[in-house]
Amino acid sequence: MSTAPAPFDVAIIGAGINGAGIARDAALRGLRVIVLEMNDMCSGTSAISSRLIHGGLRYLEYGEIPLVHESLRERITLRDIAAHLVSPIRICIPIYESAKRGPLLIRLGMIAYDLLSVGKTVPGHDMLSRSEAIANEPGLEKEGLRGAARYYDAQVTFAERLVLENLLAARSAGAEINTYSQVTSVNIAHGSVTGLEYTDNLTGESHEVAVRIVINAAGPWVDQVLTATGKATQRFIGGTKGSHIVVGAFAGAPDDAYYVEAAADGRPFFIIPWNGLYLIGTTDIRYSGDLAEIRASQPEVDYLLNETNRVFPQAKLGTDDIHYAYAGVRPLPRRDKGPESSITRRHIIKKNRKIARGLVSIIGGKLTTYRNLAEQTVNRLGKMLGRKLPACRTQDTKLPGAYRLDEAREMLESTQGLSARGVDRLLSIYGGRAIDLIEFASAEPLLQKTIDAEQSVLAAEIVFAIREEMARTLIDIVHRRLMLGLNADQGRPLYEMLAVIAADEFGWSDSERHSQIMSLHAYSDSLGV
């Protein structure tokens, strides 16, 4: 006689950075974990940040000193456990006569930032005179310039890969990862969570699983997930929309990242060298519209272009210079009054006791502090389950790609037909896991070839993404595995060839392959302005 499978200890709804981090921590501590994501992993808020691992200098203005300290501590940790994905970046703050924040205030902020960065692995700040600031960046607007401050933070070029590696680590520790799996019902009996029902959005198949605890880490969709309980709930999320634009190198473009106070509203924004391009953003606007239809608006685009042109007047950037843009909603706590920038970026681990025992929602949080949020969440899980869990291991356990980096470089450099640029590209995406990729390719000669003019993309990457990295669509492969979708051309010249290789692996018909290509083009087009 067959018996029902044992319930999962925890079901995590959402495979952004918070859900992935919680899954990794929980699985490493021996819990039975299932992750359910309605789209692909990292297809929401985690992919729309400024891609910085930083303390949040401006949070000091709002007295969020514990958050800044936590963020700076986590920056140190991520530089260690994800060294292949997270690297130092120097940031400059120009100080103008018209600015709300003068040299003294900036200097005090810099000192506080350094003091809160005890044990940091990057240099401290320095202050530049007007002439030094101009010598450092000749393209900077000179009129009204009083000086500048420089400091170091860190950058994660591919946030998608950071999320993926947390999920891969969770899977290796026993977690079950299900993408394109939309939760349709949170089942409750006698006041406690008992299970979940979900539908595979690609196949239409429905499933039901028994669970003891549900972690709602759905980001901006937290409130929507709570409606799946069938009970009336209050609104927890009061998200704000953030938009970025991506441009190529421009006249007078800086070598450093720039953190600039906008003349229009006094809000700081970034101009960041990133992925061979420049990432400019972000905006911060309350948003209550359709979460599936978020795009950078023309006023937001004009705001970012105008402010960049003001600080770097030789740039003369226009809409035609934008390669693509991206926008999304930060899942911040609801607050109907006050400036958007003052809404806390601290995370809240909310037990939804009024709905059901065993139901927890994650509200807010930052890319930088995801690991600590996960540790706190799993600590609470242990108490809710009545178990004494092992100590958290994520602070000193490297992510899968952070091992064997030197060995990976040597192997890549000896790979025939792969350019020097290709070596750097593969290391920046896979880190030490590039060894697994090359060994994987060696079993099939056709997969060892590069498929692009720059000899930087291996045919093996497409099959590797499908077999080893949970990619299920062509969009997944291009935009969230091979990272070609973040190039200036969004990888468009390779779409047909990528589709042929993927179709062979998936067994797609000609019509399905064509449909996948059309969907990919539509997705890439949606990032236009």
d(CA 238, CA 246): 27
d(CA 180, CA 192): 26
- Whether residue 392 is contained in a domain is answered as no
- Whether residue 219 is contained in a domain is answered as yes
Token pair of 160 as six digits: 């998608």
Q: Closest by alpha carbon to 529, among 367, 375, 305? A: 305
- Is 469 found in the same domain as 449? yes
Token pair of 455 as six digits: 């000899």
Q: Are 506 and 305 in contact (CB under 8 A)?
A: no
Q: Are 482 and 422 in contact (CB under 8 A)?
A: no
Token pair of 7 as six digits: 């319930």
- Whether residue 106 is contained in a domain is answered as yes
d(CA 241, CA 287): 6
| Phi and psi torsions of 352, nearest 5° | -90, 60
- Is 495 found in the same domain as 441? yes
DSSP 357: B
Neighbours of 454 (CB within 10 A): 10
Q: Are 268 and 261 in contact (CB under 8 A)?
A: yes
Q: CATH number for the domain including 37? A: 3.50.50.60
* Structural domain total, the chain: 3
Collect all residues with Cβ–Cβ distance below 8 Å to 475 and sequence separation of at least 6: 40, 485, 519, 520, 523
439, with CB counted inside 10 A (0-12, 13-18, 19+), is exposed
* pLDDT on residue 340: 54
- Is 251 found in the same domain as 135? yes
d(CA 58, CA 110): 11
- Is 117 found in the same domain as 253? yes
Task: Supply the range of the domain harboring residue 413.
Answer: 403-525
- Is 313 found in the same domain as 173? no
Q: Closest by alpha carbon to 91, among 243, 244, 246, 254? A: 254
- Is 117 found in the same domain as 93? yes
* pLDDT on residue 284: 86
Neighbours of 100 (CB within 10 A): 9
- Whether residue 63 is contained in a domain is answered as no
- Whether residue 56 is contained in a domain is answered as no
- Whether residue 173 is contained in a domain is answered as yes
- Is 216 found in the same domain as 302? no
- Is 415 found in the same domain as 361? no
- Is 497 found in the same domain as 414? yes
- Is 279 found in the same domain as 252? yes
Q: Closest by alpha carbon to 343, among 217, 269, 237, 245? A: 237
Q: CATH number for the domain including 312? A: 3.30.9.10
Extract the runs of DSSP E, i.e. beta strands, from 116-239: 126-129, 145-156, 176-178, 181-189, 192-200, 206-216
- Whether residue 50 is contained in a domain is answered as no
Q: How confident is the prediction along the chain (529 residues), in pLDDT tens digits per residue?
A: 345 678 999 999 999 999 999 999 999 999 999 999 999 999 999 999 999 999 888 888 878 898 989 999 999 999 999 999 999 999 999 999 988 888 888 999 899 888 888 777 778 899 999 999 999 999 999 999 999 999 999 999 999 999 999 999 999 999 999 999 999 999 999 999 999 999 999 999 999 999 999 999 999 999 999 999 998 678 888 778 899 999 999 999 999 999 999 999 989 999 999 999 999 999 988 877 777 778 899 999 999 999 999 999 999 999 999 999 999 998 877 766 655 555 566 788 999 999 999 999 999 888 999 999 999 999 999 999 999 999 999 999 999 999 999 999 999 999 999 999 999 999 999 999 999 999 999 988 889 999 999 999 999 999 999 999 999 999 999 999 999 999 999 999 999 999 999 999 999 999 999 999 999 999 999 998 8
Q: CATH number for the domain including 435? A: 1.10.8.870
- Is 442 found in the same domain as 365? no
- Whether residue 362 is contained in a domain is answered as yes
Q: Closest by alpha carbon to 481, among 504, 463, 505, 494? A: 463
* Angle at the Cα of 31 from the Cα atoms of 36 and 34, rounded to 5 degrees: 10
Collect all residues with Cβ–Cβ distance below 8 Å to 348 and sequence separation of at least 6: 333, 362, 363, 364
- Is 165 found in the same domain as 109? no
Extract the runs of DSSP E, i.e. beta strands, from 73-156: 86-96, 126-129, 145-156
